[in-house]
Amino acid sequence: QVVGGKVKKPGKRGRKPAKIDLKAKLERSRQSARECRARKKLRYQYLEELVSSRERAICALREELEMYKQWCMAMDQGKIPSEIKALLTGEEQGKAQQNSVKLAKAGKTEANSSNP
């Protein structure tokens, strides 16, 4: 065949397979398989850790939800749970402390600005 001024021989196209040592080829294949199994094992370990951490988070959230349900049932019966009282008094104390800190800072700035 003549294509574009060049004579082509019929047959397969592309590179001719180089004569590769069969033992070396088998060893490379085994090494590749070992590496693939190691990567797979690591991937599965990572996924198992991820699943277990998510399961722990779900359990914690379920416990928290149950606690809130119990608080709501108690409040429906006219009782205020001690935990909520503690939160409310803690907020009030925190607000009082914040206000006192703000007043103290304001007093210091006024004292500093009045002294020449």
Structure confidence by residue, pLDDT tens digits, 19-32: 668 888 899 999 99
Instruction: Check whether 36 has a pLDDT greater than 90.
Output: yes
- Residue 83: band (very low, low, confident or very high) from pLDDT cuts 50, 70, 90: confident
Cα 11 to Cα 1, 8, 16, 61, distances in angstroms = 11, 9, 11, 69
Instruction: Check whether 82 has a pLDDT greater than 50.
Output: yes
User: What is the mean predicted confidence (pLDDT) over 35-61?
Assistant: 98
What contacts 75, CB < 8 A, 6 or more positions away? 81, 84
Q: Which helix (H) or strand (E) holds 2?
A: strand 2-3
